């Protein structure tokens, strides 16, 4: 028997048998085994209800892939859904990597061995809270702020080349070739992003040319299904509540089985915001509802894992994601199968297809505590910078210097003179400004704070800006996220010239630069070295709560970024990456630890916020004084969760926009908004890249993340919600003020209500909208 037929037989005994199909002669299997019928997915002519769960192999140590796949199967799922992240496989243009942790074909083979089908989502764009949504940074060497995810040759050509490579590697894994891949997704939620359906046709053709011959599909949030539909491409809807509305949207565009492409089991965390949770009871009820409606689903996530290395992404406008991608998913970051897992398993069990049984969950991997150990050696970042500097008249974005990401020092001489303001055109992401080694301020892209006050100088001084890139935005047009200090950099209006730029480029795998260790502490940004001895190996959670902000490596492997503002305070250290005996830990801390010690805990800490440890935040000077001010519009939103466009009687010009919520459909005193966009005179939405929230009358910040930023991050699933868990309940009117970054002509607004059934709290009924310019 050939290897291929052996693996086919395994498949039939596994996933195939799971749907009650008989062992077919090999000749019959060569025909299209998987098709999309009018009401069902069909496997060998039999109805297949897809019960799928998402897991990203890049976020799980390879040694644990089988363990997690077994857990997915034991939860009652028959399919695993996986993104490919283009930048993970082509970090340097033209150099592809499919080895080890990146071995996507092996992941498919293991899934097949476990009796799971695979749904593949190769991009080119993915999203997924992954650096730049999976797009490679080097695309940004080309000019323009709107060419990614369009038909521009600077995007399409490299994407096509990559997709061909994906076809070469994963084409043989399709069911049509004896592998487990049933369906392949084209792009990702394009309806959230653009309107050019010809682009979607081109992306679809690209996959076909690359050799994908199984059914293709696209996914979109419920609200974007209808507008994004193209002929000949199957649709699935993404949502975290209200399956009936999601399925109804699908019925409007096609005759076919209904499927939720991403059902949110929880949600991702961002630094500085409360840890997110997803309700198991709510999810199980929705899953059962979908199964009863003969629907299929894919859980996002079944198992989230960890954004190891420097792969974590960043939400828009700029909210970097934590390294933990636990997601509050039913299978935890470390692969634990707790109560939530049980609830899903029990909930799905009654809906298995004839002949199917649930295998027992795999045993949990061992966990170890690591006794506290110290970091007795350090190396200042200054000493780790390359000797050779790039000379620049005025700093360009880092991509122009072929620097992918890292820590960058910019130096310039500042002549003697009076105090004044230092201002850069843009700073991505955080930077510490110092004069002759003394820190004088910070730049912080979260608040678009690109200026710092400098003191008077009696002699020329060295001005240094030490910059740290956190992650490229993975969502919205903000994916055009060029890093570094963007010139001109001016002092009192005069451009500063002749810069020396030195960078530690961590490259794809967060490679450490050569470091020379000295005993004892180093002040400011520094690398630190410590070690621990392990008698036995096992998973552990390194406690970083005494440190500032930076990156951690164990035995040369990068665990990810940490930031003591939380909510994540620990870092998942997988057992297979620990050695029995001596283990070396290196930390890069940008601000310096409060205590240069660390320990390994047996449970993670994912939910502790410490805003007091953050960089100084500029105080908000805004106090709305709207009494007597004429609103640009006053009205009532329609009931329900659909997106609504409102046109003002006439366009109004201003720099700020204020939404004032007067009451809610549920009669309670809360307000909630999933998304707010503004319409220009051409009827199109205004660019939101420079928007910031300058005032919110109230936001929920402990029970859940009801932060106002959720109203302008482009995601319909999360929302701004007025506070309810602490203190007296705030009464309407509730106000949210957005600074648009520049004056704009506003002709209307696009409102996305909080999603979910009509019973959700806070859906606004009566409201007023103001456009104007705040006076201090
Ligand atoms: C969207 C994307 C996913 C992911 C989720 C949020 O639905 O398609 O890639 O980013 O949002 O976790």
Statement: residue 23 has pLDDT above 50: no
Stated as kind and residue range, the H or E segment containing 420 is strand 420-428
pLDDT for position 618 = 72
Q: Locate the ligand 1 atom nearest the alpha carbon of residue 238 and give its number.
A: 7
Confidence grade of residue 20 (pLDDT, cut at 50, 70, 90): very low
Q: Locate the ligand 1 atom nearest the alpha carbon of residue 130 and give its number.
A: 10
Q: Are strands 766-772 and 720-721 parallel, antiparallel or unpaired?
A: unpaired
Residues 598-630: tens digit of each pLDDT: 999 999 999 999 999 999 877 776 777 777 889
- Cα 369 to middle of ligand 1, angstroms: 34
Our answer on whether the CB atom of 176 is closer than 6 Å to any ligand 1 atom is no
Residues 54-80: tens digit of each pLDDT: 999 999 999 999 999 999 999 999 999
SS3 of 717-765: the string is CCCEECCCCCCCCCCCCEEEEEEEEEEEEEEEEEEECCCCCCCCCCEEC
pLDDT for position 16 = 37
Higher pLDDT, 692 or 298: 298
In the numeric block, the tokens 């500097």 are attached to: 389
In the numeric block, the tokens 């700093």 are attached to: 395
Measuring CA to CA, how many Å separate 775 from each of 623, 632, 665?
10, 18, 33
Q: Which two tokens stand for residue 435?
A: 């004069």
Share of the chain above pLDDT 90, in %: 90
Our answer on whether the CB atom of 188 is closer than 6 Å to any ligand 1 atom is yes
Statement: residue 8 has pLDDT above 70: no
Our answer on whether the CB atom of 127 is closer than 6 Å to any ligand 1 atom is yes
Q: Which two tokens stand for residue 243?
A: 């399956």
pLDDT for position 776 = 59
Q: Rounded distance, CA 132 to CA 150, Å? A: 15
Pocket test for ligand 1, best of 128, 217, 246 (most atoms within 8 A of CB): 128
Statement: residue 322 has pLDDT above 70: yes
Mean pLDDT lowest for which of 7-21, 152-166, 279-293? 7-21
Our answer on whether the CB atom of 54 is closer than 6 Å to any ligand 1 atom is no
pLDDT for position 625 = 77
Measuring CA to CA, how many Å separate 134 from each of 197, 219, 300, 769?
21, 17, 17, 37
- Cα 41 to middle of ligand 1, angstroms: 24
Statement: residue 315 has pLDDT above 80: yes
pLDDT for position 731 = 95
Stated as kind and residue range, the H or E segment containing 348 is helix 339-348
Which residue is closest in CA terms to ligand 1's atom 3?
128
Residues acting as catalytic residues: 189, 262
If one counts every other C-beta atom within 10 angstroms of the C-beta of residue 643, the result is 17
Pocket test for ligand 1, best of 300, 313, 326, 476 (most atoms within 8 A of CB): 300
pLDDT for position 616 = 83
Residues 458-481: tens digit of each pLDDT: 999 999 999 999 999 999 999 999
- Cα 127 to middle of ligand 1, angstroms: 6
Pocket test for ligand 1, best of 53, 123, 127 (most atoms within 8 A of CB): 127
Statement: residue 87 has pLDDT above 70: yes
Higher pLDDT, 596 or 727: 596
Q: Are strands 597-601 and 540-543 parallel, antiparallel or unpaired?
A: antiparallel
User: What is the end-to-end Cα distance of the chain in Å, rounded?
Assistant: 80
pLDDT for position 5 = 35
In the numeric block, the tokens 């892939």 are attached to: 65
Give all domains of the chain, ordered by start, each with its CATH number.
49-351 (3.20.20.80), 370-380+519-613 (2.60.120.260), 387-505 (2.60.120.260), 633-772 (2.60.120)
- Cα 122 to middle of ligand 1, angstroms: 14
pLDDT for position 10 = 38
70, 359 contact by CB (below 8 A) = yes
- Residue-by-residue DSSP string for 662-702: --BTTSSS--EESEEEEE-TTSSBPP-TT-EEEEES----S
Q: Rounded distance, CA 576 to CA 279, Å? A: 31
Statement: residue 1 has pLDDT above 60: no
Which residue is closest in CA terms to ligand 1's atom 4?
128
Q: Which two tokens stand for residue 679?
A: 């319409």
> Is the whole model's pTM more than 0.85, yes or no?
yes
346, 505 contact by CB (below 8 A) = no
- Cα 261 to middle of ligand 1, angstroms: 10
Average confidence (pLDDT) over 568-574: 98
Helix (H, G, I), strand (E, B) or coil at 469: coil
472, 131 contact by CB (below 8 A) = yes
Torsion angle defined by CA atoms of residues 211, 216, 220 and 223, in that order, rounded to the nearest 10 degrees: 140
Our answer on whether the CB atom of 315 is closer than 6 Å to any ligand 1 atom is no
- Cα 266 to middle of ligand 1, angstroms: 11
Our answer on whether the CB atom of 268 is closer than 6 Å to any ligand 1 atom is yes
Confidence grade of residue 2 (pLDDT, cut at 50, 70, 90): very low
Question: What does the DSSP 8-state code read for residue 211?
Answer: T
Measuring CA to CA, how many Å separate 673 from each of 262, 637, 707, 708?
21, 12, 10, 9
Average confidence (pLDDT) over 670-681: 97
pLDDT for position 727 = 86
pLDDT for position 617 = 77
CA nearest 402: which of 93, 51, 711?
93
Q: Rounded distance, CA 427 to CA 467, Å? A: 8
Average confidence (pLDDT) over 277-286: 97
Statement: residue 443 has pLDDT above 80: yes
Q: Locate the ligand 1 atom nearest the alpha carbon of residue 301 and give its number.
A: 12
Q: Rounded distance, CA 333 to CA 322, Å? A: 12
Which residue is closest in CA terms to ligand 1's atom 9?
128
- Cα 640 to middle of ligand 1, angstroms: 23
Q: Rounded distance, CA 167 to CA 209, Å? A: 9
Q: Which two tokens stand for residue 63?
A: 């040694």
Average confidence (pLDDT) over 749-766: 94
60, 68 contact by CB (below 8 A) = yes
Our answer on whether the CB atom of 299 is closer than 6 Å to any ligand 1 atom is no
Average pLDDT, the chain: 94
551, 588 contact by CB (below 8 A) = yes
Average confidence (pLDDT) over 699-713: 91
- Cα 189 to middle of ligand 1, angstroms: 8
Residues 626-659: tens digit of each pLDDT: 778 899 999 999 999 999 999 999 999 999 999 9
Cβ-proximal residues to 684 (8 Å cutoff; 6+ apart), any chain: none
Residues 760-769: tens digit of each pLDDT: 999 999 999 9
Residues 505-552: tens digit of each pLDDT: 999 999 999 999 999 999 999 999 999 999 999 999 999 999 999 999
HSE-CB at 630 with a 13 A cutoff on CA atoms is 5
pLDDT for position 628 = 81
Average confidence (pLDDT) over 177-189: 98
pLDDT for position 31 = 57
Strands (E), 259-402: 259-264, 296-303, 314-315, 319-320, 370-380, 390-392
Q: Rounded distance, CA 155 to CA 157, Å? A: 6
Average confidence (pLDDT) over 98-115: 98
Beta bridge partners of 80: 53, 118
* Sign of CA pseudo-dihedral 683, 127, 317, 724: positive
Question: What does the DSSP 8-state code read for residue 517?
Answer: -
């Amino acid at each position: 028997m050939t290897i291929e037929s052996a693996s086919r037989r395994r498949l039939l005994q596994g996933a195939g048998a799971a749907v009650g199909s008989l062992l077919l002669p090999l000749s019959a299997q060569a025909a299209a085994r998987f098709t999309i019928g009018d009401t069902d997915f069909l496997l060998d002519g039999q109805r297949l209800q897809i019960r799928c769960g998402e897991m990203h192999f890049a976020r799980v140590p390879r040694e644990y892939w089988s363990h997690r796949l077994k857990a997915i199967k034991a939860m009652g799922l028959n399919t695993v859904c996986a993104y490919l992240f283009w930048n993970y496989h082509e970090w340097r243009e033209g150099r592809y990597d499919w080895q080890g942790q990146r071995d996507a074909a092996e992941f498919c083979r293991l899934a097949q061995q476990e009796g799971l089908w695979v749904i593949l989502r190769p991009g080119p764009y993915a999203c997924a809270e992954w650096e730049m949504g999976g797009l490679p940074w080097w695309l940004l060497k080309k000019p323009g702020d709107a060419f990614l995810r369009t038909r521009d040759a600077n995007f399409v050509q490299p994407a096509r080349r990559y997709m061909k490579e994906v076809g070469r590697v994963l084409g043989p894994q399709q069911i049509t070739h004896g592998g487990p891949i049933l369906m392949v997704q084209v792009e990702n939620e394009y309806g959230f992003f653009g309107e050019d359906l010809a682009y979607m046709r081109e992306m679809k053709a690209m996959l076909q040319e690359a050799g994908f011959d199984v059914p293709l599909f696209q996914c979109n949030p419920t609200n974007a299904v209808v507008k994004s539909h193209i002929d000949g491409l199957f649709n699935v809807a993404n949502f975290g509540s209200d399956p009936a509305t999601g399925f109804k949207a699908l019925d409007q565009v096609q005759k076919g089985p209904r499927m939720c492409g991403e059902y949110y089991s929880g949600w991702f965390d961002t630094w500085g915001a409360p840890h997110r949770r997803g309700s198991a009871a709510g999810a199980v009820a929705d899953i059962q509802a979908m199964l009863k409606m003969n629907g299929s689903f894919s859980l996002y996530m079944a198992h989230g894992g960890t954004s190891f290395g420097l792969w974590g992404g960043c939400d828009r406008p700029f909210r970097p994601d934590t390294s933990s991608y636990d997601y509050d998913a039913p299978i935890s970051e470390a692969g634990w199968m707790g109560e939530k897992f049980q609830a899903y398993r029990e909930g799905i069990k009654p809906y298995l297809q004839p002949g199917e049984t649930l295998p027992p969950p795999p045993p949990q991997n061992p966990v170890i505590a690591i006794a506290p150990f110290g970091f007795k050696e350090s190396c200042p970042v200054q000493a780790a910078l390359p000797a050779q500097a790039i000379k620049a008249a005025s700093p360009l974005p880092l991509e122009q210097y072929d620097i992918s990401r890292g820590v960058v020092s910019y130096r310039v001489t500042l002549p003697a003179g009076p105090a004044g303001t230092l201002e850069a055109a843009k700073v991505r992401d955080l930077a510490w400004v110092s004069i002759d080694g003394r820190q004088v301020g910070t730049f912080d892209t979260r608040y678009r704070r690109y200026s710092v006050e400098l003191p008077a100088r009696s002699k020329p001084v060295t001005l240094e800006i030490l910059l740290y890139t956190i992650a490229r935005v993975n969502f919205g047009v903000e994916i055009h996220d060029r890093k570094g200090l963007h010139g001109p950099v001016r002092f009192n209006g005069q451009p500063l010239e002749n810069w020396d730029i030195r960078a530690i480029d961590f490259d794809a795998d967060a490679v450490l630069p050569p470091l020379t260790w000295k005993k004892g502490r180093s002040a400011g940004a520094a690398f630190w070295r410590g070690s621990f001895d392990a008698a036995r190996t096992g998973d552990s959670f390194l406690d970083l709560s005494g440190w500032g902000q930076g990156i951690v490596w164990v035995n040369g492997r990068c665990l990810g970024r940490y930031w003591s503002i939380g909510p994540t305070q620990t870092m998942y250290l997988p057992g297979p990456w620990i050695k029995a005996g001596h283990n070396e830990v290196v930390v890069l801390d940008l601000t310096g630890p409060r205590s240069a010690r660390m320990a390994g805990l047996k449970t993670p800490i994912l939910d502790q916020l410490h805003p007091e440890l953050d960089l100084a935040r500029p105080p908000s000077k805004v106090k709305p004084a709207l009494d007597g001010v004429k609103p640009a519009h006053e009205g009532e939103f329609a009931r329900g969760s659909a997106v609504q466009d409102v046109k003002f009687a006439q366009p109004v010009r201003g720099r700020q926009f204020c939404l004032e919520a007067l009451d809610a459909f549920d009669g309670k005193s809360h307000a909630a908004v999933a998304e707010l966009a503004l319409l220009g005179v051409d009827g199109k939405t205004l660019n939101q890249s420079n928007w910031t929230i300058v005032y919110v009358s109230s936001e929920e910040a402990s029970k859940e993340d009801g932060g106002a930023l959720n109203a302008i991050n482009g995601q319909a699933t999360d929302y701004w919600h007025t506070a309810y868990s602490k203190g007296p309940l705030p009464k309407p009117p509730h106000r949210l003020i957005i600074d648009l970054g520049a004056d704009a002509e506003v002709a209307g607004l696009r409102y996305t209500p909080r999603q979910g059934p009509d019973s959700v709290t806070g859906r606004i009924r009566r409201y007023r909208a103001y456009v104007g310019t705040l006076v201090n």
